[in-house]
Amino acid sequence: MPNIEIFIVQGYSDEQKRALISAASLATVEAIGAPLDSVRVWLSEIPTSDFGVAGKPLTD
């Protein structure tokens, strides 16, 4: 049973999150041949103030 955890910053719509979960699931099925119903995906949403790129918070 593949488990996929994806960290994203807050702010994506429910529709975008559904699309991401679907795409990640289908990619896993294609890559390793796992049955779709065995793939588990969970999203961890991070506030932009708690996420940094290139040494700076996204809020900067």
Catalytic residue annotation: 2
Letter for the amino acid at 44?
Answer: S
> Are the C-beta atoms of 41 and 4 separated by less than 8 Å?
yes
CA dist., res. 47 & res. 4, Å (int): 20
Residue 6, both tokens = 């994806």
